[in-house]
Chains A and B, each alone.
Chain A
């Protein structure tokens, strides 16, 4: 196994609201080869995302591998409904940082 930092094989790592109740995370890989290696190794799963964000895996509502964009998308339950008291990020656009620190184990 090789430890590969996600930032080295992803061209895009971003977060954004998907409606007021969900936060969606996109990872677009630099090449189709990296995408396929990550998918084949099950290296970026709902469990991995839940651990990175310190949330129960049930809060990862979807995890979708999207081949046309060589991308993996995970959608989390928002910690607060968008704009509710205590909100820290109305657009959800700066919630990607835990993914920047991920290191994937790839064969």
Chain B
């Protein structure tokens, strides 16, 4: 096969065993399959319904119904991502709308409770820290109350005590991932909500404890999809590879969508994926290409306790709509979990404005530099106390220094003036000073002397609130896959 992986870049990849070891998921008390009242699959296969790429992104009811008609053994959805940036983890807020999450949960819980299908939800609230878990828990309880639903709910938290991280740092058991810098005691102390990504084991343990609905904090994206097949004794490598695809729901279909349902089927020596909306299909290319998505190396995918090895994976078109995957192997590694965190980095205020004057556009860099100097001189505040930046859409705002375009300037520019400072008040003051200075500053050849900016809004300035930066992106070695992820099981909606 072409293109063997070149480096040993991800530290979690180090030292993969040649032969898969015993499954760490085979915990004492593991039962063969499923939550209460579900039969063991007769046909030797297990079906997983993935309604949507992120809880709250939505899905068509017709697709969901088509999925239910296939009699799934589990409904699973991963709610999380670090893609929206550090703010949501750092501030403990969700990047998905509360009513949108409630809508998805209403449809999922109603169907699941009526049919006694277990539901697994990972990375609650997007980032999976305590506030996100609590936020989603509140939504689940209010949906259950409104719909008169009763079920046993497991809550699995993923918050990592700071003392645990400090001890691991001292012991050399907190290792940076990829280009991330080494952790420091200061970064650990300032991290608002440190979380770790759980593997499949806490989900299996929650099901073993009798949970019908499992709501988890930060989780390895494929874990919610792979947990039930692994618990049933199916191959972990295949189950996790299936999870890698299902975690984005119909994004791996063509045409792709993050807001539509996908069905996964697990059998003894392969898995299959198929979209549930008639206008979509899975092709070998769409599924194989999805394996590339958001990863640095598609052949070796590290996760908690093992590396998925795709070097012998095959993709086969089995029906015009379904693709079969075989050959993926999980190579066990010393158990480590990914730790994530963010720290506060001040407050932001922005202003949005347009420029249409060609004389000004022709010398905008010099004018912005003059504005910057004037603000620094007039504000009465040490300029090292804040950062002021001006993004100019129409002039390298998207790619910055890496922009390869050289050619005539755009006929208009969109400006975002941004100030970040230790307090919202100072950020607002700096942004306001930059905005008013730029509005009226003179420049050589100026003929438009009434004002330099076109504001779309009044008020022109917007306080954006707290700013965060990522502070942790590390691997933490653990002795037990359950160690950091306490499970609480409770009855929702009265005794059943």
**Cβ of B470 under 8 Å from chain A:** yes
Q: A92 CA to B1 CA in the complex, in Å?
A: 30
Complex Cα distance, B180 from A100, in Å, reads 29
Residues of B contacting A: mostly: loop
A66–B3 CB distance below 8 A: yes
A38–B299 Cα gap in the complex (Å)?
19
Chain B proximity of A86: nearest CB distance (Å): 6
Say yes or no: A68-B315 contact (C-beta < 8 A), given A89-B398, A98-B402.
yes
Q: A70 at the A/B interface (Cβ < 8 Å)?
A: yes
B459 on interface, CB distance cutoff 8 Å: no
Please determine whether B400 and A79 come into contact, CB atoms closer than 8 angstroms.
Answer: yes
Contact A84 B6 (CB under 8 A): no
For the complex, give the distance between the alpha carbons of A33 and B7 in Å: 26
CB pair A28 B285 closer than 8 Å: yes
Q: A54-B401, A90-B84 are in contact. Are A21 and B420 (CB under 8 A)?
A: no
CA distance A91 to B405 in the complex (A): 21
B-contacting residues, A52-107, CB 8 Å: 52-55, 61-73, 75, 77-79, 81-91, 94-95, 97-98, 101
Which residues, 134 to 160 on B, are CB-close (under 8 Å) to A? none
Q: How many angstroms from the CA of A73 to the CA of B285 in the assembled complex?
A: 15
Is B391 a contact partner of A52 (Cβ separation < 8 A)? no
Q: Mark B424-456, 1 if CB is under 8 A from A, else 0.
A: 000000000000000000000000000000000
In angstroms, Cα B83 to Cα A89, docked, is 10
Contacts of B315 in A (CB 8 A): 68
In whole angstroms, what is the CA distance A89 to B84 when docked?
10
Report B-chain residues with C-beta under 8 Å of the C-beta of A94: 398-399
Q: Which of B298, B310, B420 has the most CB of A within 10 A?
A: B298
Would you call B268 an interface residue if the criterion is a C-beta within 8 Å of the partner chain's C-beta atoms? no
Q: A-facing mask of B289-316, CB < 8 A → 1, else 0?
A: 1011111111100000000001001110
Instruction: Decide if B320 is an interface residue (CB 8 Å cutoff).
Output: no
A61 touches B400 (CB 8 A): no
Cβ distance B314 to chain A, nearest Cβ, rounded Å: 8
Is A88 a contact of B391 with CB atoms below 8 Å?
yes
With the chains together, A26 CA to B297 CA distance in Å? 11
Q: Is the interface of A mostly helix, strand, loop or mixed?
A: mixed
Asked if B9 contacts A83 (CB within 8 A), the reply is: no
Say which residue of B289, B310, B401 sits within 8 Å of A28 (CB atoms): B289
> Which residues of B sit under 8 angstroms from A97, Cβ to Cβ?
398-399, 403-405
Complex Cα spacing A94 to B397, Å: 11
Bound Cα distance A63, B7 (Å): 9
Closest to B7 in A: A62
Given known contacts A26-B292, A85-B387, A66 and B299 CB-to-CB distance under 8 angstroms: yes
How many residues does chain B have at the interface if contact means C-beta atoms less than 8 Å apart?
A: 53
Q: Is the CB of B84 within 8 A of A62?
A: no
Residue A5 lies at the interface, judged by CB distance under 8 Å to chain B: no
Q: Mark A2-20, 1 if CB is under 8 A from B, else 0.
A: 0000000001100011111
Contact B292 A69 (CB under 8 A): yes
Q: Is B383 an interface residue (CB 8 A)?
A: no
Complex contact A18–B294 (CB within 8 A): yes
Measured CA separation A54–B6 after assembly (Å): 22
Instruction: Give chain B residues whose Cβ lies under 8 Å from the Cβ of A82.
Output: 82, 85-86, 470
Binary A-proximity of B69-100 (CB < 8 A = 1, otherwise 0): 00000000000001111110000000000000
Contact B298 A61, beta carbon cutoff 8 Å: no
Q: How far is the CB of A69 from chain B (nearest CB, A)?
A: 4
8 Å CB interface, B262-294 against A: 284-285, 288-289, 291-294
Query: Ordered nearest first, which 10 A-B pairs have the shortest CB separation?
Result: A65-B3, A69-B288, A83-B85, A75-B296, A68-B288, A83-B86, A69-B289, A90-B85, A21-B179, A18-B296
Q: Interface residues, chain A, CB within 8 Å of chain B?
A: 11-12, 16-22, 24, 26, 28, 39, 52-55, 61-73, 75, 77-79, 81-91, 94-95, 97-98, 101
What would 9 A/B residue contacts be, using CB atoms closer than 8 Å? Answer: A16-B83, A21-B473, A24-B292, A26-B293, A55-B402, A61-B178, A78-B179, A79-B400, A88-B391
